[in-house]
Amino acid sequence: MPGFMNRAGLAAAAVALTAAAPPGQTTATRSAATPSAARSGTAPAAAAPAAAPWWQHAVIYEIYPRSFQDSNGDGVGDLRGITSRLDYLQSLGLDAIWITPFFPSPNADFGYDVSNYTGVDPQYGTMADWDDLVAEAKKRGIRVMVDLVVNHSSAEHPWFKESRSSRTNPKADWYVWRDGTPDKPPTNWQSIFGGPTWTWDKTRRQWYYHIFLAQQPDLNWQNPGLRQAMFDVVRFWLDHGAAGFRLDATPYLYEDQSWPQDPDPTKGPVWLKPYNAQLPGTNQVLREMRKIVDTYPGDPVLLGESSTLSIDQLRAVYGKNKDEIHLPMNFLVGNIDKLDAAVLKRRFDEAATKLDGLTPVEFFSNHDQPRQWSEFGDGRHNDLIAKTSAALALLNPGTALMYYGEEIGMGDMDKAELAAAPLGPNRPQADARDKNRTPMQWSAAPRAGFTTGTPWLPVDSRYATRNVAAQDRDPGSLLNWYRTLVKLRRTDPAFRTGRYVPLDSGAPAIFAFGRANPDGSGALVLVNTGSTPATATPTGWQGAAPVFGARLCGSGQPGAGMTVAAHDTCIIRYRRGGA
């Protein structure tokens, strides 16, 4: 590699790297050093064109409110709890938080069965608490997004109660009803949570459709009344300061109206079938919703739970005219279950180069999926491997999602521990996903500082050593690595707006990519997915090979050249090479 570790380049790059990434500051220092105005989308950051909306380079942090912070000792997290932790969230450098459903709900699917779209469940607080949260968050440059469950309501929603009361009531057509006899559903389709997608209603003597639980009847978006009612919900939350929506289960808004039989309903996954997902009517709904959202100031955003099976499908979710979902989550990366260099290269290269310049949305964990610390960890190097997944999500182009606690390496609760977790009034039934929904681990205090009462779900026993307070003090912690990466992507032009450079690493275990500035300088990211050190010989640069400089690695080891320690991630500065 000609010019590698050139002295002048190294010095310049080292200054840039350290200036951008001082690890180990305390929360207070860091907050003071990063004025909220600088991180607010209303005040353009120095490195970004003023016209770029905030969500194009954002970090959005998902909060499962039940498990984040309890403010009143009832063992259930709440909105006031979130407000009390805003200083911490600000210390992460976030642009926005997305709170999973906190609306009134019978909790058949813990909030994803909404019985009132325009209220706050008393367990989580009040509308005044919401208003207070939005106002306090705004002071810290943090936007607050609402989780809108667009495909279905709760069977306890007044709309459904009315709809099922007769075949002729005003809301009779607000849900998906089909004729049939009690012994024979209209189709043989299977629901995503198991069992048929149809439930017989004795009063109407008809079947209603539900792609998820029977307690989650699908809304009929073809009905103009329902459509307007849901758009009013959108306006309601925007009027109350929401910065946008995470849209739940967006592929499923329409069903194939010819109601075909599935030739083999038990074969393969039951989601994203051609008859239950991604039908054209869905695009029309999202276009209409986007129009409403776009009339509001502050660039509110639609973040879609837009499961897709290919990059072409994903590109379509943005809309033919880029006028549908601003930010469809990239499940092609999100569903990766193993850090394999070849898979990473394929997925990240296509996200950066095959989305027509639209904003990719990268993540690895959420409330439905295993936590990345557990999923990718080998049992011995989990923290180092977690630094890799953090770098992948945060240093690639686009917007990154984080799931509460991933920044301290919260893991899935151990099987035996989860099995021993009691049921009770606050946890009426067990859910396999409880393992990745355990209470946030704030400190070594009893119950990890999450609650003074009995937590609805026990705190993971690892909290005594794995918590925010401990990692805040440790410059080499995963938490401070996250802060470093978020700061890099916020302040460093290469990571903020730099072009993605697909590279061949020259080493089977290493995934390599570059982020290049227009002047030819930039940063090289090397991810060693293997359990032994490996040396890259990256090729694929446009023009002359660059001159490499300062390194920053997750392990904290300086290392040398293009060699990356086992499971480590290194960021290496470069500048334009000689002709």
Which residues contact Ca ion (rule: CB under 5 A)? Answer: 70, 72, 74, 76, 78, 151, 218, 252
Write out the two tokens for 302: 């639609």
Q: How far is CA 521 from CA 19, 46, 322, 396, 433, in A?
A: 17, 18, 31, 16, 44
Distance between CA atoms of residues 579 and 577, nearest Å: 7
Quick one: which H or E segment has residue 146? strand 143-149
Least separation in angstroms between residue 177's CB and Ca ion is 13
Catalytic-residue membership of 147: no
Catalytic-residue membership of 183: no
Which one, 102 or 495, has the nearer CB to Ca ion? 102
Distance between CA atoms of residues 174 and 158, nearest Å: 11
The DSSP secondary-structure symbol of 318 reads T
Neighbouring C-beta atoms of residue 17, cutoff 10 Å: 21
Which one, 78 or 305, has the nearer CB to Ca ion? 78
Catalytic one of 248, 362, 375, 383: 248
Catalytic one of 109, 147, 305, 406: 305
Coil/strand/helix, residue 173: coil
Least separation in angstroms between residue 152's CB and Ca ion is 7
Least separation in angstroms between residue 84's CB and Ca ion is 11
Which of 58, 48, 482, 486 minimizes the C-alpha distance to 244? Answer: 58
Distance between CA atoms of residues 120 and 164, nearest Å: 25
Distance between CA atoms of residues 186 and 201, nearest Å: 13
Least separation in angstroms between residue 461's CB and Ca ion is 22
Which one, 113 or 218, has the nearer CB to Ca ion? 218
Neighbouring C-beta atoms of residue 319, cutoff 10 Å: 17
Least separation in angstroms between residue 98's CB and Ca ion is 20
Strand partners for 175: 219
Least separation in angstroms between residue 439's CB and Ca ion is 11
Distance between CA atoms of residues 392 and 526, nearest Å: 10
The strand pair at 143-149 and 244-248 is best described as parallel
Residues 6+ apart with CB under 8 A from 74: 123, 426, 451, 453
Q: What are the catalytic residues?
A: 248, 305
